[in-house]
Amino acid sequence: MSQTITVVEKILSANDRLAEQNRAKIEEAGVYSINIMASPGAGKTSVILKTIEALKPEMQIGVVEGDTAPVTIDADKVMDAGMPAVQINTGGECHLDAIMLQGALNTLPLDTLDVMIVENVGNLICPANFKLGTHVNVLIASVPEGDDKPYKYPGMYRGVQAVILNKTDLLPYIKFNMDYFRKGVEALNPGLAFFPLSCVTGEGFDAWIAWLKEQAAK
């Protein structure tokens, strides 16, 4: 068991060093970077596309799409929205890591970007353990997933700077205790930014966009 732990620690340590190199390259280009994580179906791509729509008049946004299969569906949607995108095929791995992002940074036109969004692989466990070098980690939860996810996946909720609760338009139809959800989030990560919103109605997006602009301006 101790040998296994040592190997894992070495892997994460090497990843952290590469993440620092990624951060240096991102900051040298003057880009603000976000790592978006969520479970499958929470609406990562929908939030990204809606964010591009809101920021497009004043910001250039590049997107790194992580997927376990060699499909470019999400990257194609971003490019159709007029922004550059790079697809990373993880070859079945359940997360992106720093070396994968390093390759994408060499492909994206960083010098032309204001913001870079990384769409991590849909998973509430593995992505939390691998730093990429981005400035912030954002978790997208969704109403249909249920209000118990902070209690079941504490590692993910501890490691983020903001939580988006997507699909709030479904609150009248799905049993979801907002107070219970918020209590779980606050217990793990007191005071983090929280944005309940809907990609369908647009409700709540103004607060998310305002926060994002403020963070990028720093």
The residue whose two tokens read 């692989």 is 121
**Which tokens is 107 given?**
């492909």
CATH number for region 2-217: 3.40.50.300
How many whole angstroms separate alpha carbon 182 and alpha carbon 154? 13
Residue 143 has pLDDT above 50, yes or no: yes
How many whole angstroms separate alpha carbon 139 and alpha carbon 45? 13
How many whole angstroms separate alpha carbon 72 and alpha carbon 45? 12
Per-residue pLDDT band for 97 (boundaries 50, 70, 90) equals very high
Which pTM does this prediction carry?
0.92
pLDDT at 7: 46
**Which tokens is 146 given?**
């249920």
Residue 177's CB is within 10 A of a number of other CB atoms, namely 12
Residue 94 has pLDDT above 60, yes or no: yes
Summarize the confidence of residues 139-159 as an average pLDDT: 97
pLDDT at 1: 44
Residue 4 has pLDDT above 90, yes or no: no
Summarize the confidence of residues 35-63 as an average pLDDT: 96
Summarize the confidence of residues 31-57 as an average pLDDT: 96
Domain extent listing, the chain: 2-217
Positions of E strands within the chain: 32-38, 61-67, 85-89, 115-119, 136-142, 162-166, 193-196
pLDDT digits (tens, 9 = 90+) for 174-192: 999 999 999 999 999 999 9
Among 141, 140, 207, 124, CA closest to 176: 141
2-28 helix and 98-105 helix, angle to the nearest 10 degrees: 20
Q: Using alpha carbons only, what angle is made at residue 27 by residues 21 and 30, rounded to the nearest 5 degrees? A: 150
Q: Which residues are CB-neighbours of 110 under 8 A, at least 6 positions away? A: 25, 26, 29, 31, 62, 116
- How far lies 138's CA from each of 104, 135, 196, in Å? 19, 10, 13
pLDDT at 39: 94
